[in-house]
Amino acid sequence: MIFDTHAHYDDIQFDPDREELLAQMRAEGVGTIVNASATVASWEKIRELTRRYPFLYGMIGVHPDEVGDLDEETFSRMERLLLEEEKIVAVGEIGLDYYWDKESHVIQKQWFIRQLELAKRTNYPVNIHSREAAADTMDILRKYGRGMKAIIHCYSYSREMAEEYVRMGYLIGVGGVATFKNARKLKEVIQAVPLSHIVLETDCPYLAPEPYRGKRNSSLYLSYVAQAIAELKGISPEEVIKVTEENAMAFYAIRRRG
C-alpha cells in the first residue's frame, strides 16, 4: 500500500474535514502516514492524531523557519516526547531554509545541529528540510549526520548531490513536484537514483501533483506521483508503491499491519 512519509494533517487547512478525509485512506490504498511537525505548538496535536488513527505516526522536530521558538526548556520537552511516545518515529522536519530567511542562518544551523545530535542520542532517523541551502546542509550532514538514517524531504537539488546523499545511505523524498512539466532536475534525479533510495511523500496540504496543482494536497493523490516515477523508470506504479513502502517501513522501523 502507499506510504506517505511526510504529511501535515495537523495543519488548519484540514480542520473542516480532517476526520472524513483520513477515514478514506485505507480504502483508497494508503496504508501508512507519518505526520511531520513544524512548530513547537504542533507537537500536542500530532500526538493526539497518532493516538486516534492506527495508521498514522508522527515526527517531533522544529522547521528551520520556526527555530526561534526553541529554547532549552522546549528542547528538553522534545526529548521527553521522543522517549515517551510509542508512535513518534523520527525527528523532523529539521534543517535549513534560506528562501524565507525568517531566522538567521546562525540560529538555523545551531538548532539543526542540536536536533541532529538529539536524534543520534535517542536513536531516531531524521527528516531533513533544505531549501536554497544545499552547500550548508551537505556540510552539516557530512559532519553530524554520518551513520544516521535520513530522508532529504522534498528534494530539489542536483542529480550529483542526490547521488552523494545516496552514497551516505540517505533516502530521497519525492512528491507532487515529480508530476510538474517543468520539474526537469527532479526527473533527472528520479532516473538516476535507485528505487531502493526513494520514498513517497506529499508535504500536504502543499505541493499537490498534477492534475490538482494549486489545490490542497492529500495522501490520496500519491498515486499520481507513483505513476510519474514509474514512467521515468520504465516500471509499473505497483512496483513503485511496493518498493517505496518497504523503504519507508524499514526507515521508520514500523511493522506492517494486517
Q: Is residue 61 one of the residues assigned to a domain?
A: yes
Q: Which tens digits make up the pLDDT trace of 117-169?
A: 999 999 999 999 999 999 999 999 999 999 999 999 999 999 999 999 999 99
pLDDT of residue 258: 39
Q: Is residue 258 one of the residues assigned to a domain?
A: no
pLDDT category of residue 256 using cuts at 50, 70 and 90? low
Mean pLDDT of 45-62: 97
pLDDT of residue 230: 98
Mean pLDDT of 3-16: 98
Which DSSP string do the residues of the chain spell out, in sequence order? -EEEEEE-TTSGGGTTTHHHHHHTTGGGTEEEEEE---STTHHHHHHHHHHH-TTEEEEE---GGGGGG--HHHHHHHHHHHHH-TTEEEEEEEEEETTT--S-HHHHHHHHHHHHHHHHHHT--EEEEEES-HHHHHHHHHHH-TT--EEETT--S-HHHHHHHHHTT-EEEE-GGGGSTT-HHHHHHHHHS-GGGEEE---TTS-PPTTSTTS---GGGHHHHHHHHHHHHTS-HHHHHHHHHHHHHHHHT-PPP-
Q: Identify the domain containing residue 85 by its residue range.
A: 2-252
Q: Which tens digits make up the pLDDT trace of 87-115?
A: 999 999 999 999 998 999 999 999 999 99
In the chain, % of residues over pLDDT 70: 99
Q: Please give the tally of structural domains in the chain.
A: 1
Q: Is residue 107 one of the residues assigned to a domain?
A: yes
Q: How confident is the prediction for the chain on average, in pLDDT? A: 97
Q: Is residue 156 one of the residues assigned to a domain?
A: yes
Q: Is residue 257 one of the residues assigned to a domain?
A: no
pLDDT category of residue 255 using cuts at 50, 70 and 90? confident
In the chain, % of residues over pLDDT 90: 98
Q: Which tens digits make up the pLDDT trace of 160-209?
A: 999 999 999 999 999 999 999 999 999 999 999 999 999 999 999 999 99
CATH code assigned at 42: 3.20.20.140
Using CA atoms, how far apart are residues 89 and 91, in angstroms rounded to an integer? 7
